[in-house]
Amino acid sequence: MRSIRSILLPLLLSLAAPALAEPTLPVLTEAIAAPYPPAALEAGVEANVLLQLAVDAQGAVTEALVVEPAGQGFDEAAKAAALDFRFQPATDADGNPAAASILYRYRFTLARAPIVSAQGLVRSGGLPLQGVRVDAVGPQGQRRTGLSDADGAFRFADLEDGSWRLSLQLDGYGPEVVSLEVREGALQDLSVPLYRVINEELAADDEIVVTAARVAPELTERVISADQIRYLPGTSGDVVKVIQNLPGVGRAPLGIGQLLIRGTAPEDSGYYLGGASLPIVFHFSGLSTVMPGDLLEEVSLLPGSYGVRYGRTLGGVVDLRPKLELPETSGAYASVDLYQAAAFGEYLVGDRGAFTLAGRRSYIDAILNPILGGGEATFQAPRYWDGQARYLVDAGEAGTFDAMLLASNDGFRFVGAEDEVALGLTTSFQKLRLGWTRELGGNWLSTASLLVGPQENTFQIAPAGEAWERTTSANLREELYGPLGPVTLRAGLDLVVADEGFVYDVASFGAREEAQARWVSPAVYVEPSVQLGQIRLAPGLRVDPLSVEGGFRSLAVDPRVGTEWVVGPTTTLKAGTGRYSAHPSLRQIAAEGWDQADLTTARSWQSSAGVTQELTRATSAELTGYANRLSDLIVGREDRFYFFTGPPPSGPLDEGAYANDGTGWAVGLEASVRVETERSVGWLTANLSRSTRVQRPGDEARLFRYDQPLSVTALGSTELPRGWRLGARVRVGSGDPYTPVENRILSLDQRSYLPVFGASDSARLPTFFAADLRVDREWELKRSTLTTYLEVQNATNTQNPEVMGWSFDYAREEPVTGLPILPVFGLRGEI
Amino acid sequence: MTTPLLLLSLFACADGPSEETLVSDLQVIATVAEPPEVAPGEQVSLRTVVADPQERGAEVLTWLCTPVGGACLEASQPLDQWVHLGASAEDSASLVVSPALGAALTQTDEVAAVAWVLACEPGLCPVVEEARADLEQGVLSPDLGAALSDPVSWMADLPIAGVSLALRTVPVSLRTAEERNANPVLRVTGPEGAVLAEGLESLEVEVEDQDQETTVYGLATAGGFGSPFSAVLGGTALLSYYAPAETVPATLYVVAQDGRGGTAVWTGEAQVR
């Protein structure tokens, strides 16, 4: 609470000013009608609320303080309305616009209580939106303005008969225009959905201009803002690792960064940066994402039944959405923790541009290599780095441009006595991203992006051989979104052109494989969506051809449809179904003979239905069921060398030729309760699922290697007084299936044992349990902020078997357990 | 952190006996083929050394089987020419490599016949009983034929303890006797008589081999060797034997292999005191 002195001083100064040089006070030019609190209206209560308003030199209200409260909802309503007032600015002694503070008394009288002739509800994702500005323009151009209340409701009284146009606007959401006919004062009832936008900002004429892409109104989209992520426990503040805690996402073995979405394999899910496909998102073992969260506005998880703008995947989608808003000020931070150091700087260039430079490097190698060195051979510990440079330009009506260079490099080596690399693995990429978002008029929006550059994986093992994969690709996307008659249309191009090559020449993995080819995949998609009363229906079609140099052709035609039904003020039902396809890889095509390859796209048919329910203003719940039918999965050649990011498969390998022989099912139920208040955020999620596969026709169905029948995650973080923040995460889940070893055979030639496996994936690891704690402390200094945190991962020091292993002779099971208790200390300084 | 920790553990080392060198249960130690390289249709002597630290006894079933189309190529021969049942710690079988392998050979080619050895405590392995019955009658039953061509199919049903199944290849070529590989000759100077409990003993190994690319492997029924294998340099190698803390008799084995089928095995006894 401010002291009375701090409230009155600016007021007294502003009142004293005219006596000195005749400056002027702000003059109210546009008042917003506050919604009458329904309970007070019903009870016939009137009230006055005295506000102190801070008005800046542009005439906008930057702060509204309640000086004399009235309670019963009047204070909040008056304050919210006043923040949207517009003033002719105050002037100083030289006649220049100047900031000033004034007192304003907002009167709620029954005489002003409206006789409602039109009312509506505004929602996003089924939840009510408060503070939506509703501008109504009448048949003679008359204007009325209103705001939605805490229930998302807005009302207009005494509208003249005729056609009215209502424009709905709220920061962070796309504008929406609806029409209504008023006849003889009859009540018109509306329900209007608003969809999130990444960024919008006020232009000089006080019109809200959308300057960034509207995010797809996906049916099951789980979004976490980058700001929330930093403090969540158990994730070290990493943007994508947080996703692993959301409904629909399984627990990755050994805490690595794999995303197991709705019973599908990690490679079945796609990672995107603003819609363009990213080669990798995690550094080694999932320690951190390849770009800092501060470059991102939000991270979106689409676990299934998503729209046609995403393709070439059988599982889910994770889209990292870049921040497209100019920072308010220049700033920078540096941070260090147990294994990495990072720096981030953001500089305003004029009032239309911002330049960002960021980088990060791990230093496990710097600590371990001197310790491990000195012998005949040296193991060089893993190291990674990434860097980003970005320039963002707000070009007004021409839209928003951004250019970003991003690079990432991971590697480790085992160096022999002669300084030769005995064992080495690297993975890297360098990409240029260009983005351009602009409004075309008629409420149409264009979003274009290009992600271009090389990526490479290399593996060396002396003297057995080497393996590498190199791809230079360009992903061009252009999407148009806007109204077309009664429908809202989304249409786009998703073009990938690539020059891809590989060599796999590792002695113990069979014959050398080598191929090099160019390929192109020009996908197009269209998704008209219509609003039928309370129901939104969004059918779509994606056509995705693949043409590979050498003669291979493949075509995916994927119809999908989604629907959303706003059942009541707090309840929304959602459902969707559709086909998803993934083309064969270059290696699969090359192995089976280019134009002779009898391979086609692998497919999944995803269906889901769910309900979102608002329980309180701060609490919402969601329940979703899904079924994913997988067909034409490409199987075979499991004995070959592969770059992989997880534990190697156990069990007998399928050494047959590649073929579209695999099928499978993944079904499940996801439940979550989410609480979000001003100071706290938390959620409880539970996933029930079953995922099975049939490797070849005639084989018995077996559990998928990542099948997790049950996983429960509870996660929360709350802000405490004096700069403290406390968080905790608890996870319980089924262990992964594995193939047991029933006996062994001694190879006398190799002097090693060969396992005799039992039925595939017929055994299961023990139940997983882990608790993580996190405490943050923030110090506000003069021009900077210092934050420290201590995160204790696996605080109960539970020995969780995560991957099954065996003794050298397969006589005993020796599971690989996850990390023991691990305290991670971090420090971050920000200016 | 997981990957670095896992990788570190791969390269970690410690003093003391290697777990891989301790033989605590019935185990096939080595099978020496004489000659180590044969021609199609030629007889080969397969001498198998079996460790039986539990002293429960063992039956040793040896057979040649080059699987083709779900059957053994050797099955066209009389049963006792490709299947042998014995019962001793050092069992010898004289079997005949299938002459049909010659069809796949030219003068420069080499193919491999597969020799299987199953050491089994009496009564644990049904396939041994089937083989005994068939050998007595001199007729191969379909069940035994199928079992011998696909040992993996029944190994999953057997216990790990008291059962040891091993395989080795026998190179088959048309080379002359002079051109063929020969078994290495192995001489070991080891602990004579008693060794001290928890003591460290050295075994000097001399190997004569025409290729001079031999590797030696140390195994023991008590205690263990410092390293599972050692390369032979200049015809000699030094193996470190760690005696156990208990005062028990120990059988030591040293196996030399040239990587081309040539094998030699040495067995020694030591009393730990």
If asked whether residues A574 and A689 sit together in one domain, one would say yes
Mean residue pLDDT of chain B comes to: 87
Q: What is the mean pLDDT of residues B115-130?
A: 95
Closest CA to A338 of A830, A822, A831: A822
- Return the residue of B nearest to A746 by Cα: B166
Residue A615 maps to a domain: yes
Q: Does residue B2 surpass a pLDDT of 60?
A: no
Hey, is the C-beta of B178 within 8 angstroms of any chain A C-beta?
no
> Would you call A745 and B166 a contact, using CB atoms and an 8 Å cutoff?
yes
Same domain, yes or no: A150 and A10: no
Search chain A and give the residue with CA nearest B217: A751
Residue A371: predicted pLDDT: 61
The DSSP call for residue A214 is B
| A497 and A544 in a common domain | yes
| B194-195 vs B263-272, strand pairing mode | parallel
Nearest CB to A255: which of B2, B11, B156? B2
The DSSP call for residue A815 is P
Looking at the complex, does the CB of residue B34 fall below 8 Å from at least one CB of chain A?
no
A531/A646 same-domain check? yes
Judged by CB atoms closer than 8 Å, whether chains meet at A412 and B7 is answered as yes
- What confidence category does residue A820 fall into, taking pLDDT thresholds of 50, 70 and 90? confident
Point out the least confidently predicted range of A27-31, A689-693, A775-779: A27-31
Contact B166 A748 (CB under 8 A): yes
Q: Are residues A398 and A522 in the same domain?
A: yes
Question: What is the C-alpha to C-alpha distance for residues A544 and A556, in angstroms, rounded to an integer?
Answer: 5
Tell me: the pLDDT tens digits for A156-165? 776 777 777 7
Question: Comparing B21-173 with B181-272, is the CATH topology the same?
Answer: yes
Q: B209-264 pLDDT, tens per residue? A: 877 778 999 999 999 999 888 888 888 899 999 999 888 889 999 999 998 899 99
Please indicate, yes or no, if residue A581 is contained in any of the structural domains: yes
Give the separation between CA B52 and CA B28, rounded to whole angstroms: 9
Confidence of residue A379 (pLDDT cuts 50, 70, 90): low
Q: Which residue, of A194, A215, A242, is where some domain finishes?
A: A194
Mean pLDDT of A80-91: 85
- Examine the pLDDT at A19 and tell me if it is beyond 80: no
Nearest-by-CA chain B residue for A256 = B2
Report the mean per-residue pLDDT for chain A. 82
CA distances from A754 to A168, A301, A570, A705, B62 (A): 68, 42, 60, 21, 19
* Contact between chains at A747 and B168 (C-beta distance less than 8 A): yes
Q: Do B1 and A744 touch (CB under 8 A)?
A: no
Interchain pair B165, A746: CB under 8 A? yes
Average pLDDT over residues A311-336: 88
**Which of B4, B19, B156 lies closest to A382 in CB terms?**
B4
Per the domain annotation, does A663 fall within a domain?
yes
CATH of the domain at A54: 3.30.2420.10
pLDDT of residue A218: 57
Residue A428: is its pLDDT beyond 80? yes
Confirm or reject contact between B176 and chain A (CB < 8 A). Answer: no
Torsion of CA A437, A440, A444, A449, to 10 degrees: -20
Burial of A141 (0-12, 13-18, 19+ CB in 10 A): exposed
User: Does any domain span residue A235?
Assistant: no
Which position has the higher pLDDT, A4 or B145? B145
Model confidence pLDDT, tens digit, residues A503-546: 998 877 778 889 999 999 999 999 998 888 788 899 999 999 99
**In chain A, which residue's Cα lies nearest the Cα of B24?**
A811
Return the pLDDT at A112: 43
What is the model's pLDDT at position A373?
55
CB B185 within 8 A of CB B207: yes
- Among A745, A808, A809, select the one facing B165 at the smallest CB separation: A745
A817 contacts on B by Cβ (under 8 Å): none
- Same structural domain for residues A781 and A684? yes
* Nearest Cα to Cα of residue B184 among B100, B261, B99, B119: B261
How far apart are alpha carbons A512 and A345 in whole angstroms? Answer: 46
Count chain A–chain B contacts defined by CB atoms under 8 A. Answer: 93
CATH number at residue A587: 2.40.170.20
CATH number of the domain within which A124 lies: 2.60.40.10
Suggest the residue from A282, A384, A748 to mutate for an interface test with chain B (most B CBs closer than 10 A): A748
- For the domain B181-272, what is the CATH superfamily, name and number? Uncharacterised protein PF12988, DUF3872 (2.60.40.2410)
Last residue of a domain, one of A111, A142, A173: A111
Residues A560 and A606 in one domain: yes
Q: What amino acid occupies position A802? A: E
User: Domain limits of chain B?
Assistant: 21-173, 181-272
Looking at CA atoms only, how far is residue A577 from chain B in angstroms?
A: 38
Interface probe with B: pick from A413, A743, A802, A812, most Cβ of B within 10 Å: A743
Of B20, B152, B166, the CB nearest to A756: B152
> Which of B2, B156, B167 shows the shortest C-beta gap to A285?
B2
pLDDT band at B154 (very low <50, low <70, confident <90, very high): very high
Render pLDDT for A728-779 as a digit per residue (tens, 0 to 9).
999 999 998 999 999 999 999 999 999 999 888 889 999 999 999 999 999 9
Interval A677-688 mean pLDDT: 89
- Is A250 inside a domain boundary? no
pLDDT level of residue A807 (50, 70, 90 thresholds): very high
Residue bearing the bigger pLDDT, A684 or A122? A684
Please name the member of A254, A372, A808 whose beta carbon is closest to the beta carbon of B2.
A254
Lowest pLDDT segment from A138-152, A315-329, A343-357, A558-572: A138-152
- CA separation (Å) from B174 to B37, B82, B106, B114? 10, 20, 7, 17
Asked if residue A53 and residue A170 are part of one domain, the reply reads no
Lowest model confidence (mean pLDDT) among A417-426, A820-829, B71-80, B171-180? A417-426
| Range A246-252 average pLDDT | 85
Please check whether residues A163 and A87 belong to one and the same domain: no
- Nearest CB to A819; choose among B1, B20, B152: B1
Query: For every residue of chain B, which 3-state class applies, written as one string?
Result: CHHHHHHHHHHCCCCCCCHHHECCCCEEEEEEEECCCECCCCEEEEEEEEECCCCCCCEEEEEECCEECCEEHHHHCCHHHCEEEECCCEEEEEEECCHHHHHHCCCCCEEEEEEEEEEECCCCCHHHHHHHHHHHHCCCCHHHHHHHHCCHHHHCCCCCCCEEEEEEEEEEECCCCCCCCCCCEEEEECCCCEECCCCEEEEEEEEECCCCCCEEEEEECCCEECCCEEECECCEEEEEEECCCCCCEEEEEEEEECCCCCEEEEEEEEEEC
Number of domains in chain A: 3
Percent with pLDDT over 70 in chain A: 84
Longest dimension (CA), chain A: 105
In tens, the pLDDT along A172-223 reads: 676 677 777 776 645 566 666 665 543 322 222 222 222 223 333 455 566 6
Which chain A residues touch B261 with a CB distance below 8 Å?
749
A822 contact residues in B (CB cutoff 8 A): 1
CB A663 within 8 A of CB A635: no
Asked if B21 reaches chain A (Cβ–Cβ under 8 Å), the answer is no
Of B7, B157, B261, the CB nearest to A379: B7
**Which of the four pLDDT bands, split at 50, 70 and 90, describes residue A235?**
confident
* Residues A753 and A809 occupy one common structural domain: yes
pLDDT of residue A370: 64
- Measure Cα distances from A682 to A126, A655, A671 in Å: 19, 46, 14
CA atoms within 13 A on the CB side of A489: 12
pLDDT (0 to 100) of residue A7: 33
Please check whether residue B231 touches A, CB under 8 A.
Answer: no
Please state the CATH superfamily assignment of the domain spanning residues B21-173 in this structure. Answer: Immunoglobulins (2.60.40.10)
Distance from the B3 Cα atom to the nearest Cα atom in chain A, whole angstroms: 6
Of the residues A58, A91, A111, the one at which a domain ends: A111
Domain that holds residue A48: 4-111
Query: What number is the average pLDDT over the span B123-134?
Result: 95
> What confidence score (pLDDT) does residue B99 get?
87
| pLDDT, tens digit, 9 for 90 and up, residues A392-423 | 998 888 889 999 999 999 887 777 666 666 77
Q: Are residues A96 and A153 in the same domain?
A: no
Contacts of A368 in chain B (CB under 8 A): 4, 8
| B108–chain A Cβ distance below 8 A for any pair | no
- Does residue A107 sit in the same domain as residue A135? no
Residue A378, pLDDT score: 59
- The percent of residues above 90 in pLDDT, for chain A, comes to 35
pLDDT digits (tens, 9 = 90+) for A112-157: 444 556 777 777 655 677 778 888 887 777 777 788 877 778 877 7
Across the interface, of B151, B165, B217, the residue whose CB is closest to A751 is B217
- ipTM reported for the complex, 2 dp: 0.94
Rounded to the nearest angstrom, the minimum Cα separation between B152 and chain A is 6
Which pLDDT band holds residue B36 (cuts at 50, 70, 90)? very high
Range list of β-strands (E), A677-764? 680-694, 702-703, 710-719, 724-733, 737-738, 741-747, 752-757, 763-764
CA-based nearest distance A453→chain B, Å: 28
